[in-house]
Amino acid sequence: MDISGEQVKVPRHVGIIMDGNGRWARKRLLPRNAGHRAGVQRMEELAVHAQEMGVEYFTVYALSTENMSRSKEELDGLYNLIRSYFSKSVDELYRRHAAVRILGDMAPLPGDVAEKLYEAEVNSPGDATFHFQFAINYGGRAEILRAVNDAALLAHRDALEGRPPARYTDESFHDLLYTKGMPDVDLIIRTGGEERLSNFLLYQAAYAELYFTDVLFPDFDTGEFDKALLDFSRRDRRYGKIRPGE
Ligand code: IPE
Ligand code: IPE
Ligand code: MG
């Protein structure tokens, strides 16, 4: 793939921490939820663009476990945006051979929202070429704790049946995470100026390249996305090794 005449290596899996919606709205004297609405539009545009650029896995951080303590008004606005996005846009995603996966605990969400998300996932095409993950009520720590508790239950079952407990490998442990079967995230982009992960993909980000920008998410257009791809492409990913000849 070419960006401004430069041949780039496109990351297979991109994650985006979509931050800055509230500040974008405040600058315009609008309610916070107007910022979230603008953010959803941006997210749709970026997903199409990422797919065109050759990204295979695209994961967006929409709502963290910590965000669940925001005001009822803000959460209701976010749930409405999720309802309308998953009613209107999911068929278009399938038409583009995209599969949906939800990362996070759906149980505390309003029942109809949880149901819509579940349906979007199970009705996804089996032969998808693009994988769109929505992290909703997601936290990296909660995800790891859930895996540990599942592992303990499996060990208990093994003990009852007289088998020794399984020893986990990186791969078999990953099978207990929401991202089971997916490649690790290669590039994490965070908009909105903060330089932290805020509990996003803690296990999967072990060797992710991190890209931080002050641009607020509703202003993060496809040109800004390409800047992140170009920056990623120029990084030297060594994974703890040294380059041959050094
Ligand atoms: C990120 O934008 C989206 C969610 C957390 C739902 P924020 O709502 O955190 O926006 P700022 O950081 O207040 O600008
Ligand atoms: C991270 O943004 C979560 C999402 C973008 C969904 P926050 O605005 O919640 O993060 P902090 O509080 O600044 O770390
Ligand atoms: Mg924020």
- Average pLDDT for residues 101-119, to the nearest whole number? 98
Pocket of ligand 2 (CB under 6 A): 17-19, 61-64, 66-67, 194, 196, 198
Beta carbon of 26 within 6 Å of any ligand 1 atom: no
Beta carbon of 67 within 6 Å of any ligand 1 atom: yes
Residues marked as catalytic:
19, 67
Q: Which residues contact 171 (CB under 8 A, 6 or more apart)?
A: none
Q: How far is the CA of 17 from the centre of ligand 1 (A)?
A: 9
CA–CA gap between residue 30 and residue 27 (Å, rounded): 8
Which atom of ligand 1 is the closest one to the Cα of 63? 6
Q: What pLDDT was estimated at residue 127?
A: 96
Beta carbon of 65 within 6 Å of any ligand 1 atom: no
* Most informative mutation of 19, 78, 213 for ligand 2 (most atoms within 8 A of CB): 19
* Most informative mutation of 19, 27, 134 for ligand 1 (most atoms within 8 A of CB): 19
Backbone angles phi, psi at 166, to 5 degrees: -70, 145
Q: Residue 243 pLDDT more than 90? A: no
- Average pLDDT for residues 161-166, to the nearest whole number? 94
Backbone angles phi, psi at 101, to 5 degrees: -135, 140
Q: Are 149 and 117 in contact (CB under 8 A)?
A: no
The pTM score is 0.97
Q: Residue 71 pLDDT more than 90? A: yes
CA–CA gap between residue 245 and residue 19 (Å, rounded): 41
pLDDT in tens, 189-234: 999 999 999 999 999 999 999 999 999 999 999 999 999 999 999 9
Residue-averaged pLDDT of the chain = 97
In this structure, how many other beta carbons lie within 10 angstroms of the beta carbon of residue 145?
11
Q: What pLDDT was estimated at residue 201?
A: 98
* Most informative mutation of 74, 138, 194, 199 for ligand 2 (most atoms within 8 A of CB): 194
Q: How far is the CA of 36 from the centre of ligand 2 (A)?
A: 13
Query: What is the token pair recorded at 231?
Result: 């920056």
Q: Residue 246 pLDDT more than 80? A: no
Q: What pLDDT was estimated at residue 96?
A: 98
Query: What is the token pair recorded at 177?
Result: 């995470």
- Average pLDDT for residues 82-92, to the nearest whole number? 97
Beta carbon of 18 within 6 Å of any ligand 1 atom: yes
CA–CA gap between residue 95 and residue 5 (Å, rounded): 31
Q: Write the residue with the smallest CA distance to atom 6 of ligand 1.
A: 63
Task: Report the SS3 class of residue 207.
Answer: coil
In the chain, % of residues over pLDDT 70? 100
Q: Residue 244 pLDDT more than 80? A: no
